[in-house]
Every structure is written in structure tokens, then in C-alpha cells.
Amino acid sequence: MARIVMKFGGTSMAGIERIRIVAARVKREVDAGNQVAVVVSAMAGETDRLVGFCREASARYDAREYDVVVSSGEQVTSGLLAIALQAAGVPARSWLGWQLPIGTSDAHASARIEAIDMTALDASLAQGVVAVIPGFQGIDGSGRVTTLGRGGSDTSAVAVAAAMKADRCDIYTDVDGVYTTDPRIVPRARKLSRVTYEEMLELASVGAKVLQTRSVGLAMKEGVRVRVLSSFEDARDDDGHRGTLIVGEEEIDDMERQLITGIAHDKNEAKITLTQVSDRPGSVAAIFAPLAGAGINVDMIVQNIAHSTGSTDVTFTVPAVDLTRTIDVLEGARDNIGYASLVPDTHVAKVSVVGVGMRSHAGVAATMFTTLGERGINIQAIATSEIKVSVLIEEDYTELAVRVLHTAYGLDAAE
């Protein structure tokens, strides 16, 4: 007998027919003698629809009320799956975030899970009743509903798996594993049978939305064995593997190690340029300190050296959803910073190449710049880490850039 968490994403929960397929998958694990907790997402498109309502109601909506609205999608699917399981003869009960409870911070719309009370869950598992838990939601210290940020059901699943010391956390989705890049953009992307926590963390953080970044960080910290696999098919690859297993670096042998693991893109960043910022100690701090104070994450930063003019342009990126707030903050701090104009640009995309092999190999960045240059794709900003190189480009070139880089690093699957 194993203790397992099964998580089903939005496409897998989109409609009663699909929920029945999910119920059949859960039943199989129960019939095999396993103790099962299931974490579910809202139906595909539902969270977007709910976010749209909030925006329509007010451009500057209250994050507490946003959480009340957007968490409702998962309430519906958790109840529906419990009904479908019962109809299939599997004892099941839903547990909303506030009922377990799943305790979180009070950072509404991007709360962090702090503690999961195992009392009800343990009792349910011991009685052989499948616990169906809506992902993405929790409750803060003052008793208000919170959500964990988009894609947060992955994090709910890993947190539940860690709390119940599960043997496995299986993330069922609409692709059959983690690929070298988004298989919807590059049909010749290759499925990885294993990927390290570190590489997956980096890939997720630069836009590979197959797993929420926080879920990977949590799995790494808690040693949760995460597998990504398809809800719709049971295909195994040539080595007999299903899906992709996220593993520790020590579990990957030298033969498997690749220079580049994958390529990701992110169209959810916005670029801001402040022109003629005076070149003096403290001027950069005057820009970024108020943004940090407002909880806005700055990603890429470019600043040129001032020559004779004594001033320079400063360019940086923020999440596109934070653009309005960023502009408000910078206009409020304008006298203190001292800039001539603020130029926002949302038609940008970040394309990143990730791989632990970069630590020991030179030339990865040069290959990237040359490949993009040959296609006439201009690079607007660059950021690097030990195992990643990212560039900011015009949004229209995203798919082309991902495709040519995939080929340039030798990642294309054989025809």
C-alpha cells in the first residue's frame, strides 16, 4: 500500500465526461490498495473568466475579494469529482481549504502555504475515504479565503503530499510529461524521462508553466517525489517510463546529463524604460526601493554608463499584471528619482535557455546571441544565472526564437 497524491489540472477537469475519466483513474489507484488524496483545479478557462469579472467590476479591485471570487472554480470541481467517485462506488469526500484547514500567509492572490492540519485528512485516509481537495486555495490567520497565485494547484498538491508523507505526488495534465520546450510551440520537442529539481525550478521560473515554480521549490525542500504525466493516455516511452520524474541531481548519471535541458518563454513581462536618470549614487535605489516596498518583483535590469551627459536610461522588466501599479509607484517617486520620461512596453517576451551543463561549458550565451542575430531578432536585455541565460525580445518573434534555439542546441527529436 502506498500513500499517493493525484493532482488533476484544468483541462482534465473540463466537463463531466472528463471528470468521469479522472474518477476512473482515481478508482484504479484505490482498487490497487493505495490511500489517495486528490487535488483538483478549476475547469479550464474558469479562473480566467472569474479574473475577468473582477477586472470588469473595478480596475483596482480588492485582493481579498478577488480571492473569494477566483477560488470558487475549484470548489465546484472538488464537489463534482466527489460525486463522480461516489457514483463509481468509491467513498469520497471534499474538503475545502478552510475546512481542513490549509493555513496560508495573508498575501492575497499570491499567498504561501504555512501549515496543513492533518486531522481530518488522516481520518479520511484511515477510513479508506478518498479526500478531494480543491487546489489553489487556503485560509489566512484572520479566517479569510486566500489563493496561491496562478497555477497554484500544483503547489497545493505538493504541500498536501509533504504533509501526508506521501510516497508519490502525481501531477496529471494535458501533456505526457516535461519536454525540452513547450510541445505546443515546437512539435519536435523531446520528452524528458527525468529532470532535476534545480533545472525544473529554473525552467518553471522562466515560464515553463507545466509546473508552478513554488511547487518545485517546495518539492525540492521537502523531498517530495513529483511525477508529471498525462490524464488522457497511458503511453510509456522507449525506456518504459511514464511521464517525467523530478529527481535529485545525484540520481542523474553522467550519460543522461545534457548541456542544455530546455528552453522556456514568458510573455507575461512588461518592459519599462526611464530616460535621463541622473548618474549619481542612490538614483537606482530611488527607483527600486519603492517598487520593492510595493511588493513588485523586478526581473531584468539594464543600465548604461553615462558619458558626457551625466544621465543615463534605465530599463527593467516587471510582471505585466503589475504594470499599472508600477507606473503609479514610479510617478509618485518621480521627484525623488529625477527622470525625463517613463516608456512602458508590453510587446516583449523573455526567452531562456536552461541547463546545469552551463556551469562547466563556455559558449552557451554566444550560441544564443548568434542564433538570434542570424534571424534578425534584436536582443533588448540580457540576464544570466549559473544555469540560465535569458534574453528579452519583441513578442512577435517568440515562437521563432524558441524554435531556432531548440534546433541550435541540438534538442530536436529525430524525425
Interface positions with ligand ADP (CB under 6 A): 9-11, 41, 151, 173-175, 178-179, 181-184, 208-210, 262
Nearer to ligand ADP, 131 or 208 (CB): 208
Nearer to ligand ADP, 11 or 205 (CB): 11
The option from ligand ASP, Mg ion, ligand ADP, none interacting with 95 (CB < 5 to 8 A, set by class) reads: none
Least distance in Å: CB of 210 to Mg ion?
A: 7
Nearest CA to 117 out of 52, 86, 163, 173 is that of 163
Residues that bind ligand ASP (CB under 6 A): 9-10, 41-42, 47, 73, 135-136, 150-154
Q: Partners of 139 in the beta sheet? A: 103, 145
Q: Residue 323, Cα to own-chain centre: how many angstroms?
A: 19
Contact 143, 105 (CB under 8 A): no
Residue number, nearest CB to ligand ADP: 9
Nearer to ligand ASP, 34 or 78 (CB): 78
Least distance in Å: CB of 293 to Mg ion?
A: 30
The option from ligand ASP, ligand ADP, Mg ion, none interacting with 73 (CB < 5 to 8 A, set by class) reads: ligand ASP
Select from 6-14, 23-31, 87-95, 315-323 the region that touches Mg ion (CB under 5 A). 6-14
Nearer to ligand ASP, 14 or 405 (CB): 14
Report the relative pairing of strands 35-40 and 130-134 from DSSP bridges.
parallel
What residues have CB less than 8 Å from 368, skipping those under 6 apart?
A: 353, 389, 391, 405, 408
**Position of cell 482515481?**
26
Least distance in Å: CB of 62 to ligand ASP?
A: 19
Question: Nearest 5°: phi and psi at 166?
Answer: -70, 150
The option from ligand ASP, Mg ion, ligand ADP, none interacting with 395 (CB < 5 to 8 A, set by class) reads: none
Of the candidates 97, 134, 151, 207, which one interacts with Mg ion according to CB under 5 A?
Answer: 151
Least distance in Å: CB of 150 to ligand ADP?
A: 9
Cα–Cα distance measured from residue 185 to residue 144, given in angstroms and rounded to the nearest whole number = 39
The helix (H) or strand (E) run that includes residue 77 is helix 72-87
DSSP 191: B
301: Cα within 13 Å, side-chain hemisphere: 9
Least distance in Å: CB of 9 to Mg ion?
A: 5
Nearest CA to 104 out of 115, 118, 95 is that of 115
Cα–Cα distance measured from residue 380 to residue 156, given in angstroms and rounded to the nearest whole number = 36
183: Cα within 13 Å, side-chain hemisphere: 13
Nearer to ligand ASP, 42 or 356 (CB): 42
Least distance in Å: CB of 87 to Mg ion?
A: 27
3-state secondary structure of 249: helix
Q: Residue 347, Cα to own-chain centre: how many angstroms?
A: 21
Least distance in Å: CB of 41 to ligand ADP?
A: 5
Nearer to ligand ASP, 10 or 138 (CB): 10
Nearer to ligand ASP, 172 or 316 (CB): 172
- What is the contact surface with Mg ion in residues (CB under 5 A)? 9, 151
